[in-house]
Amino acid sequence: MQLATWNINSLAVRLPQVLDWLAAHPVDVLALQELKLTDDKFPAQAFADAGYQAQWFGQKTYNGVALITKAPVADVVKNIPGFEDEQSRVIAGTVDGIRVIGAYFPNGQEPGSEKFAYKMRWLDALREWVRAEMAAHPALVLLGDYNITFDDLDVWDPVGLRETIHCTTEEREKLQGLIGLGLTDSVRLFPQPEKNYSWWDYRDLAFRRNRGLRIDHILVSDAVKARASACAVDKAPRKNERPSDHAPVVLTLA
DNA sequence: ATGCCTCAGCTCCTGAGA
């Protein structure tokens, strides 16, 4: 079984690339972020034609998340229960006995800003909800665009980007709060290339120079960790014409 | 350089992304 996450920065623009990627990498679960379309515009038929079911939670212009699956999804939840939010950032469901939570974490823009404060509140609410979900579902995967680096290994220029957005101590403490629930960063379970990133700025030839960040993560509970056999970033789609700025991350389970 | 791309939309500029 394989699960993947990919921020595709507009599904309307990237649908052909997503379908091509699924044809070459027929994962069982693909969590998408930044659909950037309303629910009525979601291309459900295109996924059905490719042999996939879909659950989606869209929004005009910004955000929007989906779960693309081979198997049916049960007990779908949209956004964090009890946390009032205008923004469509979370979609969860149970697939093949695994509780899957796909999330597009807030960007935060700049430390000290109102958007940063929202990111902190959102992270607190996520943690308490995930704690409850883990109690109900021992096999759990939390995957998506976290917009947070774990440490300097995830940053192309840790000195120049010290305490900037995605790299602040406050954000990293919230990320460690999720780890503290008993989750594991699945990429770090396996040997990885040097300078292993999942996002590169569109500007300044950042991808060619490998000036990136690792901000897309797949966190797994112990029951899933025991089944994990591989996890890696797939950089190939970043080389496409008109690529997303993010690359997919893929987890393989025995 | 508070920019460099890219995308959506009340589209020929602006807000947001990260």
Q: What pLDDT was estimated at residue A66? A: 98
CA of residue A139 to C1' of nucleotide B4, angstroms: 43
CA of residue A205 to C1' of nucleotide B18, angstroms: 15
Q: What is the pLDDT of residues A186-211, one digit of tens each?
A: 999 999 999 999 999 999 999 999 99
Cβ atoms A174, A164 nearer than 8 A:
no
- Model confidence at A3, pLDDT cuts 50, 70, 90, reads very high
Question: Any alpha helices (H) in chain A, and if so which ranges?
Answer: 11-24, 44-49, 114-136, 169-179, 222-225
Q: Is the CB of A221 under 7 A from strand B?
A: no
Q: Is the CB of A201 under 7 A from strand B?
A: yes
Cβ atoms A156, A213 nearer than 8 A:
yes
Q: What pLDDT was estimated at residue A152? A: 96
Cβ burial A134-148 (10 Å sphere, 16+ → b, else e) = beebebbbbbbbbbb
Q: Is the CB of A12 under 7 A from strand B?
A: yes
Reply yes or no on whether A202 is catalytic: no
Does pTM surpass 0.95? yes
Q: What pLDDT was estimated at residue A172? A: 98
DSSP string, A148-215: --SSGGGBS-TTTTTTSTTS-HHHHHHHHHHHTTT-EEGGGGS---SS--SEE-SSTTTTTTT-EE--
Q: What is the pLDDT of residues A4-49, one digit of tens each?
A: 999 999 999 999 999 999 999 999 999 999 999 999 999 999 999 9
3 state SS of A88? coil
Average pLDDT, chain A: 97
Q: What pLDDT was estimated at residue A60? A: 96
Domains of chain A: 2-253 (3.60.10.10)
Tokens of A107: 């960007």
Tokens of A244: 């997303």
Q: What pLDDT was estimated at residue A222? A: 98
Cβ atoms A29, A47 nearer than 8 A:
no
Q: What pLDDT was estimated at residue A99? A: 98
Q: What is the pLDDT of residues A39-88, one digit of tens each?
A: 999 999 999 999 999 999 999 999 999 999 999 999 999 999 999 999 99
Reply yes or no on whether A104 is catalytic: yes
CA of residue A124 to C1' of nucleotide B6, angstroms: 31
Q: What is the pLDDT of residues A148-181, one digit of tens each?
A: 999 999 999 999 999 999 999 999 999 999 999 9
Q: How many residues does chain A have?
A: 254
Q: Is the CB of A187 under 7 A from strand B?
A: no
Q: What pLDDT was estimated at residue A43? A: 97
What is the β-pairing status of strands A184-185 and A199-200? Answer: unpaired
Tokens of A215: 């901000």
DSSP state of A239: G
Cβ atoms A201, A217 nearer than 8 A:
no
Q: Is the CB of A239 under 7 A from strand B?
A: no
Q: What pLDDT was estimated at residue A186? A: 98
Tokens of A162: 């010290």
Q: What pLDDT was estimated at residue A235? A: 97
Q: Which residue is nearest to nucleotide B17 (CA to C1')?
A: A107
Residue that the structure tokens 């955000």 belong to: A63
- Count CB neighbours of A221 within 10 A: 22
